[in-house]
């Protein structure tokens, strides 16, 4: 694997994985009042489009990163809808 | 512009622009208690790596999207640090 690939993979891991602490925080505190619903609705729509884009251009890394991201963004959305 | 390009651009616009409502919400309410600091630290690191990746592979859309995103993620981070 090249340094460039490693850079891209680290970037993808961080921008996808960054939602994990938000999921845990919301789950633990049962509070999401300061979290923007509009942000996560836009993010869910955007990640869905990235996923379709990845399927169209047949790029497995794009598909994998966005498949993982959509699970996390839906988790934040579910907690936001649950806790308000 | 192809349908595929338009799909990618719409995806990028949504996943970058989604932070705008969070910036406005935090600014208006002056509350960020439920927003995860770890999430935005990881996101800032990830977007910085995407930006370097874009520069390395010389892809203007990757550079442009992540340059815009880093401004927004730093705005959320600044508000989070300011309001706690």
Provide CB contacts within 8 A for B3, sequence distance 6+. Answer: none
Residues in chain B: 84
In A, what residues contact B, Cβ < 8 A? 4, 7-8, 10-15, 17-19, 21-22, 24-26, 29, 31-36, 38-40, 42-43, 45-47, 49-50, 52-53, 56-57
Give residue for tokens 């994998």.
Answer: A64
pLDDT value for B26: 98
- Cα separation, A79 vs A22, whole angstroms: 10
Q: What is the pLDDT of residue B1?
A: 84
Q: Is the pLDDT of residue A1 over 90?
A: no
- Cβ B7–A35 below 8 Å, yes or no? no
Asked if pLDDT for residue A21 goes beyond 90, the answer is yes
Within a 13 Å sphere around the CA of A27, how many CA atoms are in the beta-carbon half?
A: 9
pLDDT at B61: 85
A23 has pLDDT over 90: yes
**Residue numbers of the domain that contains A18:** 3-83
**Beta strand spans in B5-53 (E):** none
Contact at CB, A53 and B4, closer than 8 angstroms: yes
ipTM: 0.92
Looking at the structure of chain A, the number of domains it has is 1
B10 Cβ partners below 8 Å, 6+ apart?
Answer: A46, A49
So what's the pLDDT on residue A71?
Answer: 97
pLDDT tens by residue, A32-75: 999 999 999 999 999 999 999 999 999 888 899 999 999 999 99
CATH of the domain at B47: 1.20.1280.290
pLDDT-flagged residues of chain B (< 50)? none
Residue B75 · residue B43 · CB < 8 Å: no
Please report how the helices A60-83 and A37-56 are oriented relative to each other, as an axis angle in degrees rounded to 10: 160
Picking from A8, A52, A72 by the largest number of B CB atoms within 10 A of its own CB, the best residue to mutate is A8
Best of A36, A66, A70 to substitute, by most chain B Cβ atoms within 10 angstroms, is A36
Cross-chain CB nearest to A56 (options B7, B10, B12): B7
């Amino acid at each position: 694997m090249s340094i460039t690939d490693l850079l891209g993979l680290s970037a993808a891991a961080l921008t996808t994985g960054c939602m994990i602490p938000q999921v845990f925080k919301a789950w633990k505190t049962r509070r999401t009042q300061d979290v923007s619903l509009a942000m996560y609705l836009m993010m869910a729509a955007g990640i869905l489009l990235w996923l379709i884009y990845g399927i169209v251009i047949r790029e497995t890394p794009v598909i994998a990163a966005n498949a993982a991201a959509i699970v996390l963004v839906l988790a934040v959305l579910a907690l936001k809808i649950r806790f308000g």
